[in-house]
Amino acid sequence: MNLTPKEIVTYLDKYVISQKDAKKTIALALRTRYRRMQLSKKLQDEITPKNILMIGSTGVGKTEISRRLAKMMKVPFIKVEASKYTEVGFVGRDVESMIRDLVVNSISIVKAEQEEQQKEKIDNYVINKIVEKLLPPLPNGASESKKDDYQILLEAMEKRVENGEMDDKKIELEFEKIHLELADSNLPPEMAKVQESLSQMFSSLNKQDNKKEVTVKDAKSILRLEASNKLLDMTSINTEALRRAEDGGIIFLDEIDKIALSEKSQGRNDPSKEGVQRDLLPIVEGSSVTTKYGVINTDHILFIAAGAFHVSKPSDLIPELQGRFPLRVELESLTEETLYKILTQTENSLLKQYQALLGVEGMDLQFDDDAVWAIAKLSHRANEITEDIGARRLHTVLEKILEEVSFNADEFNEQTYTITKEYVHEKLDEVVEDDDLSRYIL
């Protein structure tokens, strides 16, 4: 969380080309959260997050920015689609379930950290249990020399288990029936408690231990879960997770334009539109939501909303909701040059992915620089004459170009295959220029 705005933008630059304004706005919002946490408690309560509304066509990087933020930030983060919620009182997910999802995500983050801290204890527990099964204990009254020999054998076996040399061996493992927690955030807390009570009741009726023959490799996974349940304090994990979700939680609300009602829109009583906007108001403004882990206050959760707004406009959202997203940032449409940079400058770009995939067949796939420019130009042209789907067009275009190459990849084992500008035009010119073909093929 202690990254400067410049460091956040630099990280995002590896994966998202252009969109400087959007990256800068988000970087500042995240840094402001860190600054707030350094202030006195009294002042912290007064500073509320400035929610962001990202506006831009599909495929320009809105969702990619959120995906990369989730990987970068060690804070509770979830991405949800606004279009999957319905108004309270109708069948479907209510908007409060996004807060419950955030708490579940926060718990998994804190639990993973605790497991990392207890890694040594967990590993020792797992290895000791497996070695006990592989090496039967010495009988009572064994001589000192036998005990010394047994100790040497024990240490050697521990190393072999740790190194994975015994992974294929089978052992009979006794373990309690694993209680799988059903984290259905769509259930109201009262129903979740009933479900949990029923689950505990049925598990108590069947308390006998399981005995099952499993490989040492599988036993490691089973025993690691068992060790986590025994060694970790879930009460303190839940408390810390709730605090983190309250103070540092981020919710990326995608497809918010799908719940806006344009002037042309029919049916103002659609339960998945205006009603959802009204339900969102108290959550975005700040309210208390009850979860099965405790009550969480949403005052300081940061909301980043995004939408293409092709059919509707941001002003079609109800005024109260518009006011709760004070920071507006518009993402630029992708140019030919931007598409070229996406193919050549991003970390793990599409070209690198195809090279790695066909490298499995022993083929060394190469792209001429002119060919990459041709791909960018034709993708941009396809976006102009049909629907503009941004960088997603590169997926369909590359798949069309490499379809035959990929199909015959086994014939080019230990060979270099170069995609040229002429090859790209041969495969795509006819399709791109024919409007009907473009709509159905690209």
Strands 210-215 and 170-175: antiparallel
User: Does residue 269 have a pLDDT over 60?
Assistant: no
Proportion of the chain above pLDDT 90, given as a percent: 26
Taking a C-beta distance cutoff of 8 angstroms, is the pair 289, 99 a contact?
Answer: yes
Provide CATH code, domain 336-428: 1.10.8.60
Q: What digits encode the pLDDT tens for the residues 110-151?
A: 999 998 888 888 888 888 888 888 877 777 767 777 777 778
Burial class (CB in 10 A: 0-12, 13-18, 19+), 202: exposed
Task: Please tell me the distance from the alpha carbon of residue 302 to that of residue 246, in angstroms, as a whole number.
Answer: 10
Proportion of the chain above pLDDT 70, given as a percent: 86
Task: Please tell me the distance from the alpha carbon of residue 11 to that of residue 3, in angstroms, as a whole number.
Answer: 10
Q: Where in the chain is CATH 3.40.50.300?
A: 5-109+243-330
Region 374-399 average pLDDT: 89
The CATH number fitting domain 5-109+243-330, selected from 3.40.50.300, 3.10.580.10, 3.40.640.10, 3.90.25.10: 3.40.50.300
* Six-digit token string for 334: 């992708």
Q: Where in the chain is CATH 1.10.8.60?
A: 336-428
Task: Please tell me the distance from the alpha carbon of residue 314 to that of residue 302, in angstroms, as a whole number.
Answer: 19
pLDDT recorded at residue 192: 60
Instruction: Say how many C-beta atoms besides its own lie within 10 A of residue 283's C-beta.
Output: 18
Region 251-277 average pLDDT: 74
Asked which of 138-142, 402-406, 425-429 is least confident by mean pLDDT, the reply is: 138-142
Q: What digits encode the pLDDT tens for the residues 282-337?
A: 999 889 999 888 899 999 999 999 988 888 888 888 888 888 999 999 988 889 99
